[in-house]
Structure 1
Amino acid sequence: MDFYILAQQLVNGITLGSIYGLIAVGYTMVYGVIRMINFAHGDVYMVSAYVAAITLAVLHSFGVDSVPFAIISVLVVTCFITGVYGWTIERVAYRPLRGSTKLAPLISAIGISLMLQSYVQVAQGARDQGVPVLVSGALRFGTDKDFAQITYMQLVILVASFVAMAILTYLISYTTLGRQCRATQQNRHISAVLGVNTDRIISSVFVIGAATAAVGGVLVTFNYGSFNFFIGFVMGIKAFTAAVLGGIGSLPGAILGGLVLGLTEALFAGYVSTDYKDVFAFGLLIVILFFRPYGLLGRPEIQKV
Structure 2
Amino acid sequence: MPLHRLLKPLLILLLCAWQGGISDAAASAGPALGRSSTDPSTQQAGSNHLVASSGLGDTNRAGQQRILFILASSKVHGSSSIPASISFGEVVHAWDTFQAAGYAVDFVTPDGGDVPILDPYVGKEVESRLQDERVMRGLRNTATPAQIDPGLYRAVYYVGGSNAMYGVAENRALQDIAMHVYERNGGVVSAVCHGTAGIVNLKLAGGQSLLAGKRITGYPEEHEDRDAAYFKEFPFLIRQTVQARGGLFHAVDGYAPYIEVDGRVLTGQNYASAAPLAAAVVDALRKLPNPQTSPARRD
Higher relative CO (Cα under 8 Å, sequence separation at least 6) belongs to: 1
TM-score normalized with structure 2 length: 0.21
TM-score normalized with structure 1 length: 0.21
- Higher share of residues assigned strand: 2
